[in-house]
Amino acid sequence: MDSVGDWVIMLVAAIVMGWWIVRRLDRWLHEPPDARLRKLATKGGVEEDEYVLLLKEHGFQVLSGKHRIPLGVAVDNGSVMPTRLYFDYLAEKDNKYYLVKLDRPRQPMEWTASALRERLLVYALLFPDCHGIVIVLPQGRQIKTVRFKVEAGEK
């Protein structure tokens, strides 16, 4: 790089790269907290089924359905094993987002605090902007909302 032209090209490229990085960082910092959920809401189609109608009866607007979140698990620096998390719908009520899970007969929901923690806490941690997790109980046409609250530690 002996010529002045090479230095000018490198300087212009560095300025463009710097501008691009600053712009991306600024966009990321000023992104609203629920932007991830808004993107997710546009990805899945919604089929009008009995569960969607039940949610609508309870005042929810179903935004999208049938979501699969890919994860990888590695044990002791071994190879990564693929797995997935599923939830059935993303819904909105009173400008608050909710993840929706259906209570299925093969894996009925156990309504103790420890069982709810083991089964649903991962969703609350993965989507902290959600106001809660709605469980649809099709047998009794009921809907229950689960929220997690961090308690103050014991002394």
Break the chain into its structural domains and give their ranges. Answer: 1-31, 35-146
Q: How far is CA 31 from the centre of its chain?
A: 15
Summarize pLDDT for 60-76 with one digit per residue, the tens.
Answer: 988 888 888 888 999 99
Task: Count how many Cα atoms sit within 13 Å of the Cα of residue 42 in the half-sphere of its side chain.
Answer: 5
Tokens of 48: 């009008």
pLDDT for the residue 101: 92
pTM value?
0.69
pLDDT of residue 41: 61
What is the DSSP secondary structure assignment for residue 45, as one 8-state letter?
-
